[in-house]
Amino acid sequence: MQKNELKRRLKAGEAVIGSWLSVAHPTIAEIMGQAGFDFLIIDMEHGILDIEGVHSLVLTLAGTAASSLVRVPWNDPVIVKRVLETGTMGILVPQVNSAQEVEQAVRAVRYPPQGIRGIGCQRAAGFGAWFDEYLSSANEELVTAVQIETASALENIDKILSVEGLDLIFIGANDLSASMGLFNQPQHPQVQEAIRHILASAQKANVPAGLMASDPDDANARMAEGFQFVGLGHDVGLLSSTCRDLCRRVTRDVFPAR
């Protein structure tokens, strides 16, 4: 059974970097998994990934040093159950606004009596090869993370952070700015002040906090502030920006007619 190195490192206070996957092709996942990222988040909220695509990417990442997490499309225990059966190391739930919603996510991840997850015998349990071990350890091994990305979540942040079983919060700055009436202004001073408040609250509650960084220098600065879980780019964005940069840097000479 695969142990959750990512959760161990977060609990130890280490900082980790990662990125996002939205293309259901194992080659892309393997390239990024071998690049040096500590984690890769497979994104079902945006894009076109379905459960079969998630399964393929989780399987691929198991052969790399990068831990897999899956951002589920919604806080739905049926979706969470199916995603966890792929063998991912945890889930990230978007648009969480209250302690009650965090409790719902935690219960969806955990087996009884702490939760409501149904017992299956799919890839997570080695198709039976480590069934008993998985059932006895999954509640402690899996990561339950939620996104803080609304004004309501900001208002309820202390109650959210008090929920037992919450392993990580991830700030969605773009959606947070929109919810605060500052659409597409994540760098606005009010949004940045809200982010600092969320981080301080998380540190007080001893819950690791994360967010996206714009570049490596920004990632280093965010880690120096105390963010343990920092994302850099995503598969389609990195490919797109690299290709566009290459094309911009090549001069297309016009040769005179012969």
Residues 66 and 40: their CA atoms lie apart, in Å, by 6
CA distances from 90 to 60, 134, 156, 246 (A): 16, 14, 23, 36
SS3 (DSSP) at 180: coil
- Whether the ω angle into residue 113 lies within 30 degrees of 0, i.e. cis, is yes
Contact 96, 147 (CB under 8 A): yes
Catalytic residue among 46, 55, 197, 234: 46
212 membership: H or E segment, kind and range: strand 209-213
**Beta bridge pairs of residue 42:** 21, 70
Of the candidates 199, 186, 207, the one whose C-alpha atom is nearest the C-alpha of residue 226 is 199
Residue in the structure block whose two tokens are 């130890």 = 12
Catalytic annotation present for 188: no
Which amino acid appears at position 9 of this protein?
R
DSSP string, 28-76: HHHHHHTTT-SEEEEESSSSS--HHHHHHHHHHHTTSSSEEEEE-SSS-
Q: Among all residues, which ones are annotated catalytic? A: 46
